[in-house]
Structure 1
Amino acid sequence: MNHKLELDFVEYNLAAFLDACFKLVQQGKKAIKLRPFNQFAASFANKASVNGMQAKFYSVKEDCEIPPPKNVELCSEDIMTDATILFIPDAKTLSSHLLVYLDLKSGSIIAPITQYYYKNKPLFLISIPKSGTHLLYQLVEAFGYEPGIICPDHPSPGTWYCIEYSNSHTSARDFFIDTVRRSPFGNRHHPFPRSPAIFIYRNPLDILVSEAHYYHQDGKTLFHGYLSKKSFEERLLTLINDPWLLGSIRDRVGNFVAWLDFQNVIPISFEELVGPNGGGSIQHQTLLIWSMQLKLHIPGNPRDFGDKVFNKRSPTFHEGRIGSHAKYFTNKAYEKFYELPQDFMTLLGYDFDHRNNPRGISKRADEFRRRPLIYSESDFENTPILIERYYNGHNIVKYKGLYYGIPCSLGDLRLELQEESFLKTLVSDKELTELKQKIVLRRYVPSYAWKFLRCLKRLHKRLGLI
């Protein structure tokens, strides 16, 4: 038995599965389950036999949709094999089945590429300040996501973004209350509900230590002068509960706690992710990363990803260790911390004796590791959304993936009732900023000059200049 965990994804066709299986056999993985045993699995088993593949195939009794042939042996679900091949083309069903392997200790899994494959969806990152943001960035880029950072109107699949602006420290209240109040259509067209997100949290006691080491440094924060003349203990006490500027650690962390309850969010703890370089364990790190691979449909080996996470060269890196409060907290600091309501510690799973267990992992870590991802199925692509009124004589409406500039002289035009030929006469673009430029140009630039500029832009594109 090969004791290496590996996940792979292939196109849903016989050639791709046969090629992947042949590679398994070459690695010495010859005992292979075929799940579920359906017509596609039967075709695969027959083709593998014809090709002389030196593998022993098994099918699980409980999920046999058709009787297996002679070269496939019936077995129970708990029989260990070197690998499992999943013949499940439906994204939802596949995701549910992948979570069966959360506690797999060894072996390989091959599954089909679906619309939930990591390269087919954007990813959003959320982090409490000083909770291991650099670890999160390192991990997702090791997974293969490209950094997009600022989310455009149409985020690219296989790319990670911040929920808002250019940093990942977006509090739930800011996004779901303030931004909704300022956005058209209640911000329901934002891609977040239909995409996966990862939220990293950390023991607030260790967050405080990291804050006290960082926030007073010139150039690191705008408010560094507020703390720069204080001793380390004075900074720590101020950061625990400051009535004048920074609020309490309960306030700062509490602004993010609601992210834990969203079903499309994967909560991960610093203590699990940091691994042995930060005082954690390979076991917890591997379990966490493996669960993320299964949920996000990411190929690879969790140990390989874990080796790439810890980066001391990060500009915000201090010490990156679990339980640093045991080294830096004074009795006075502990007393002031425990004077705060401890509801936020309970919600994060850190409601235990920290003095006797400074390196403890969140009580909720296993709950979050086992929780499936669930995406919103609401789709507003075919719903006209009014983005802005009276922009240079135009109303701007988003519809079917495009922004349209509708002359105000046409009144409240219902785009869903218009012919495609009419829509093509309206100024439009995939990006809002580009549309606004076009509206300005059309209004203030003579028509012959406008045509010249369009021809020039097409020429530049052909020459690769833009």
Structure 2
Amino acid sequence: MSYQAHNVARLHARDLIFFIRYLKEVVVNLDRSKSFLICNSYPKSGTHLLYQILYTIPGFLKWDDIVSVQALCGIMNTASHIKWKLGSAPTNSIIRSHLTYCDEVLDVFKEHDCKTFFIYRDLRDVALSHARWVCNEERIFLHELYLKHSSFDKKLMNSIKGVPLGTPFGSNASQPNIGEDFSRWLGWIDDPNTIAIKFEDLVGERGGGCEETRLHLIEKILAHLETNLSTQEIKAKFSSSGMNPRESHTFRKGAKGSKGGWKEAFTEAHKDAFKEVAGELLIQLGYENNSNW
């Protein structure tokens, strides 16, 4: 169960550590307001692909941690946790995050000089990636529930339709359907201070996309950061063939980080379920023109 007492106690202890680090920055180093690059994403949408590009740009630092709206055990993190954890990072860090679009998160960002990026992906590929990840990640609160299913088709269906509270009976674990869940992130796409990026536009030739589109998008990223590089420098530093997916902490051997993998994995039942919970959202995001896919 996701809300066991030991998980709550462990997260309180974790937050105390980040609070102490935050106070050290504010009181000892007199450094409350910092400069950050926010590498934000809807989970399983290509966080590390964007992160690799950002840390290739001179002048910014890798930061090994991730700021998320939800802990792996399933408990939702508080606004204080996000504030303290973000504030404990060194200035000029690249912050990977899975943060929803809401006033509480925006208020935390306003305390710093944040340049924000948001990467999202075809939600059908997200569902496929999520199902595989949950099966392989023992720390995630849905792991044991997914392993009870004998077929991957049923696990994938969970990632599409969600997990109702009390499934299995007596459990505190729950997960919204993918359309309802993504709606909490939707605001980032139209946020005027955020560069919203489609994963499919960033994968380049290596991931089955267009290299020209990728490089044009990287030019846009560099312009947002007021960094000037020549066309040749951009091609040399940021070609898709130069990116190493194995550096991602969630890299799965055999997965190519490409687009459209859902087409081989989805059955007609998966398609029908997806249309029910997120069909209109796919059209809104530009991944389909109508519901006849």
The answer on whether the counterparts of 1:293 and 1:299 sit within 8 Å (CA) in structure 2 is: yes
Alpha-carbon distance, 1:331 to partner: 0.7
Q: For residues 416-453 of structure 1, what are the alpha-carbon distances to aligned partners after superposition, in whole Å with 9 as ceiling and x for unaligned?
A: xxxxxxxxxxxxxxxxxxxxxxxxxxxxxxxxxxxxxx
Q: Distance in 2 between matches of 1:131 and 1:189?
A: 25
Q: Distance in 2 between matches of 1:122 and 1:134?
A: 17
Matched residue of 1:317: which SS?
Answer: coil
- Taking a change above 3 Å as real, the CA distance of residues 341 and 216 of structure 1, as seen in their structure-2 partners, is closer
Q: RCO higher in 1 or 2 (8 Å CA, sep ≥ 6)?
A: 2
1:234 corresponds to: 154
Alpha-carbon distance, 1:200 to partner: 0.5
Q: How many percent identity over aligned positions? A: 27
- For structure 2, the 5+ residue unaligned runs are 1-33, 66-84, 166-173
1:207 to 126, 134, 137: 126
Matched residue of 2:245: which SS?
Answer: coil
1:302 aligns with 2:234: yes
Residues 425-444 of structure 1 correspond to what in structure 2 (within 5 A)?
none
Q: Distance in 2 between matches of 1:188 and 1:213?
A: 32
The answer on whether the counterparts of 2:128 and 2:265 sit within 8 Å (CA) in structure 1 is: yes
Which one-letter code corresponds to 1:136 in the other structure? L
Which one-letter code corresponds to 1:324 in the other structure? G
Q: Distance in 1 between matches of 2:126 and 2:278?
A: 17
Alpha-carbon distance, 1:352 to partner: 2.7
Alpha-carbon distance, 1:228 to partner: 1.1
The answer on whether the counterparts of 1:257 and 1:344 sit within 8 Å (CA) in structure 2 is: no
- For structure 1, the 5+ residue unaligned runs are 1-119, 163-167, 181-185, 357-466
Alpha-carbon distance, 1:269 to partner: 1.1
Matched residue of 2:183: which SS?
Answer: helix
Q: CA RMSD in A?
A: 2.6
Which one-letter code corresponds to 1:146 in the other structure? L
Q: Distance in 2 between matches of 1:221 and 1:350?
A: 29
- TM-score (normalizing by structure 1): 0.44
2:183 to 236, 240, 254: 254
Alpha-carbon distance, 1:347 to partner: 3.7
Q: For residues 250-276 of structure 1, what are the alpha-carbon distances to aligned partners after superposition, in whole Å with 9 as ceiling and x for unaligned?
A: 122111111112111111111011111
Q: For residues 365-423 of structure 1, what are the alpha-carbon distances to aligned partners after superposition, in whole Å with 9 as ceiling and x for unaligned?
A: xxxxxxxxxxxxxxxxxxxxxxxxxxxxxxxxxxxxxxxxxxxxxxxxxxxxxxxxxxx
- TM-score (normalizing by structure 2): 0.68
Matched residue of 1:151: which SS?
Answer: helix
Larger % of helix: which?
2
2:94 corresponds to: 160
Which one-letter code corresponds to 2:111 in the other structure? H
Residues 367-382 of structure 1 correspond to what in structure 2 (within 5 A)?
none
Q: Distance in 2 between matches of 1:203 and 1:171?
A: 17
Q: Distance in 2 between matches of 1:324 and 1:317?
A: 15
The answer on whether the counterparts of 1:131 and 1:201 sit within 8 Å (CA) in structure 2 is: yes
Residues 216-295 of structure 1 correspond to what in structure 2 (within 5 A)?
216-230=135-149, 231-242=151-162, 243-244=164-165, 245-295=174-224
Equivalent pairs counted in the alignment come to 221
2:169 corresponds to: none
The answer on whether the counterparts of 1:199 and 1:268 sit within 8 Å (CA) in structure 2 is: yes
Alpha-carbon distance, 1:310 to partner: 4.0
Alpha-carbon distance, 1:290 to partner: 1.2
Larger % of strand: which?
1
The answer on whether the counterparts of 1:123 and 1:161 sit within 8 Å (CA) in structure 2 is: yes
Q: For residues 162-185 of structure 1, what are the alpha-carbon distances to aligned partners after superposition, in whole Å with 9 as ceiling and x for unaligned?
A: 4xxxxx111113xx24x68xxxxx
2:259 to 301, 316, 322: 322
Alpha-carbon distance, 1:297 to partner: 1.6
Matched residue of 1:239: which SS?
Answer: helix
Q: For residues 314-342 of structure 1, what are the alpha-carbon distances to aligned partners after superposition, in whole Å with 9 as ceiling and x for unaligned?
A: 23123211000111111110011111253
Q: Distance in 2 between matches of 1:325 and 1:355?
A: 16
- Taking a change above 3 Å as real, the CA distance of residues 210 and 198 of structure 1, as seen in their structure-2 partners, is same
Q: Distance in 1 between matches of 2:89 and 2:159?
A: 39
2:246 corresponds to: 312
Which one-letter code corresponds to 2:132 in the other structure? H
Q: Distance in 2 between matches of 1:334 and 1:270?
A: 21
Alpha-carbon distance, 1:153 to partner: 6.6
Q: Distance in 1 between matches of 2:260 and 2:109?
A: 40
1:146 to 55, 61, 64: 61
Q: For residues 194-234 of structure 1, what are the alpha-carbon distances to aligned partners after superposition, in whole Å with 9 as ceiling and x for unaligned?
A: 43111010000100110111112242523200111221100
The answer on whether the counterparts of 1:126 and 1:197 sit within 8 Å (CA) in structure 2 is: yes
Q: Distance in 1 between matches of 2:142 and 2:47?
A: 20
Residues 72-151 of structure 1 correspond to what in structure 2 (within 5 A)?
121-144=35-58, 145-148=60-63, 149=65, 150-151=85-86
Residues 182-201 of structure 1 correspond to what in structure 2 (within 5 A)?
189-191=110-112, 194-201=113-120
Q: Distance in 2 between matches of 1:272 and 1:188?
A: 26
- Taking a change above 3 Å as real, the CA distance of residues 354 and 314 of structure 1, as seen in their structure-2 partners, is farther
Which one-letter code corresponds to 1:336 in the other structure? A
1:170 corresponds to: 99
The answer on whether the counterparts of 1:208 and 1:236 sit within 8 Å (CA) in structure 2 is: yes
Q: For residues 40-85 of structure 1, what are the alpha-carbon distances to aligned partners after superposition, in whole Å with 9 as ceiling and x for unaligned?
A: xxxxxxxxxxxxxxxxxxxxxxxxxxxxxxxxxxxxxxxxxxxxxx
Matched residue of 1:246: which SS?
Answer: coil
Q: Distance in 1 between matches of 2:89 and 2:160?
A: 40
- Taking a change above 3 Å as real, the CA distance of residues 276 and 219 of structure 1, as seen in their structure-2 partners, is same
Matched residue of 2:259: which SS?
Answer: coil
